Amino acid sequence: MNIKKLFSFSKKSKIFNLFDKAIEAKNNEMLSRTLNYTFKEKIDKDYVNYFMRLLPETWHEEHEEIINLIWLHNLNDDVFSDVLYLIAVDSETYRKYDDENESTLRKCIHALKQINSKKSNHYIEKLKSLNNPNVYFALENYN
């Protein structure tokens, strides 16, 4: 294994260790710091398991940041579709801090569109049926 790959693996394993500790302690502040480290790294499929563990949880307030990582790093895995839809429709639980622009909802739509599976496209259609202007605004990028 070359040095660059070894360093990358070591850094990733440290981040995963921090995720494990934040999840075990259900500590929002620790999770927030870990996500800040994560933004500086190359995000790949190895993160899918952690993001899937974190997204449905209600003990933290980092849903938008996690969705942002999924979307920006093209983690187009259909495993996210159900939870992205859940977050999009359950604003009281998952989007307490969304303002009238509903940025977390919009990011859910972008991530679902990027996944582009039968299931994710079905959820997009269900979201359209809510007649929410923010859903349509996010979808304007794809017409």
Classify each residue of 117-136 as buried b or exposed e, where b means 16 or more C-beta atoms within 10 Å of its C-beta.
eeebeebbeebeeeebebbe
pLDDT category at 41 given cuts 50, 70, 90 is confident
Q: What is the pLDDT of residues 72-120, one digit of tens each?
A: 999 999 999 999 999 999 999 999 989 999 999 999 999 999 999 999 9
Output the pLDDT for position 3.
Answer: 44
